[in-house]
Structure 1
Amino acid sequence: MTGPEHTPLEDIRARIAQAARIARRAPAEVTLVAVSKTHPAEAIRPLIAAGQTVFGENRVQEAQAKWAPLREEHAGLELHLVGQLQSNKAEEAVALFDCIHSLDRPSLLTALARAMDKAGRRVPLFVQVNIGAEEQKGGCAIADLPALLTEARSAELPVIGLMCVPPAGIEAAPFFALLDKLAADHGLAGRSMGMSDDFETAIQLGATHVRVGSALFGARG
């Protein structure tokens, strides 16, 4: 007889733990952000039932509709914004999310500072770095990172780390290593890096938050 098959969540947790051990890190140092964008509440509830508490969404409007009832049903859930954020949605994002991974420009910094002051709430932030210098991608240019971090600290915004999405189709490790170095150089503890195809590599290179969607939920809805 064969044993029961692992669920996708169990499999991902085991792979995170193994990657952490290889890197001589504690698995508890890595937060799994289950990226539930485009997937309905019915697909999310089994993960909540299995103990997953941290979820990621790409869009403010989609998250508002989906997570209000889920949060009423379940206490202790943590919601992260992992997609791009328009400045005019800053107030809604600060009200809804427990962490924002996509601060990438001064205008958004100003909008978030104003929204947090108004709400009396400080939401932890990652600065998204355009690690591959890709024109089509969001993210702060590496050369502009020091100035943006200085401005964030002046505004008393709680920047806890850096985030990146490496270029598709090429080896991600050098980009993860660069983000790790940039975070260390700027005294930041958080590294939001690694997705379904490369999170193990990211963990071995210092990731503290991995953003896993398709490996947990299957293809997008």
Structure 2
Amino acid sequence: MTDASPLTDIRSRIAAAALRAGRETGDIELIAVSKTRSAGDIRTLLEEGHRSFGENRVGEAEGKWPELRADYPDAQLHMIGQLQSNKAEAAAALFDVIHTVDRPSLVKALGKLVADGKTCPPCFLQVDIGEEEQKGGCAIGGIAALLERARKAGLDMIGLMCIPPLEVEPAPYFALLAKLADEHGLRRLSMGMSADYETAVMLGATQVRVGTALFGPRPA
């Protein structure tokens, strides 16, 4: 008997974590983080039936995904890296969801697309959950104001996203994000990566972003 593929193993772990939390597995989307990965690596997962992928850079995604989507038109692409305002239109045209709305200038750029009748995908507001200056994300105290600004600009804000600090227990940060989402009437939580996605599922994640555990170590 052959060993299960990484994709099968991770799906099983997500299902087990959901069961322990009394949740439905179907409420949790596994996003395969394909940044820096080749089109061939991505095709392997596509051939296994996986369809949700995440990229960090608009330019890199533009170089890989038009051809991949020609063969797999039902693939869903998530923008999970920091997005420059001047790339907003290109990102909106390529991605199905944007996870990293975090500042007024980006809201303004995306809102202009809406005002001009162009496509703008659903968005998560990224929260600087660990109050780390080096990371993107809206300050916790600024969530309400930025959400209001985004909604007035016509953006479809569907949830909150976070990246907890490295090398600390992530559970308190995931629990805090869930609490914040509930306070602001948002139902989706983009949280959890290769090292902690099971914890994130236990605490309410609806989207988990997994790269290394699916693809193996990133090329140097």
Equivalent-residue separation in structure 2 for 1:216 and 1:133 (angstroms): 29
Q: Aligned to 2:116, what secondary structure does the other structure show? A: helix
Look up the equivalent residue of 1:196 and give its one-letter code.
Answer: S
Deviation of 1:115 after TM superposition, in Å, equals 2.5
| 2-structure distance, mates of 1:31, 1:70 | 20
Q: What TM-score do the two structures reach when normalised by structure 2?
A: 0.98
CA contact (8 A) 2:110 2:120 kept: no
Residues 57, 80 of structure 1: 8 Å contact kept: yes
- The structure-2 alpha-carbon separation of the partners of 1:171 and 1:132, relative to structure 1 and needing over 3 Å to count, comes to same
Aligned-partner Cα distance in 1 for 2:72–2:41: 15
d(CA) in 1 for partners of 2:183, 2:7: 34
The alignment-based identity, stated in percent, is 57
RMSD: 0.8
TM-aligned CA deviation for residue 155 of structure 1:
1.2
Residues 193, 207 of structure 1: 8 Å contact kept:
yes
Q: 1:171 aligns with which of 165, 169, 172?
A: 169
Matched ranges for 1:52-131 at <5 A: 52-118=50-116, 120-131=118-129
Cα shift readout 1:54-88 (whole Å, capped 9, x = no counterpart) = 10000000000100100011120100000000000
AA aligned to 2:91 is A
Contact 1:95 1:119 in 2 (8 A): no
Q: Give, in angstroms, the shift of residue 120 of structure 1.
A: 2.5
Structure 1, residues 3-45: CA drift from partner, whole Å, max 9, x if none?
2200000001000100000000010010000000000000011
Aligned counterpart, 1:210: 208
Q: Tell me the amino acid that sits aligned with residue 79 of structure 1.
A: L
**Partners of 1:34 and 1:216 within 8 A in 2:** yes
Q: Partner of 2:12 in structure 1?
A: 14
User: 2:154 aligns to what SS in structure 1?
Assistant: coil
Whether the 8 Å CA contact 1:34–1:212 is kept in 2: the answer is yes
Query: Which amino acid in 2 is paired with 1:123?
Result: P
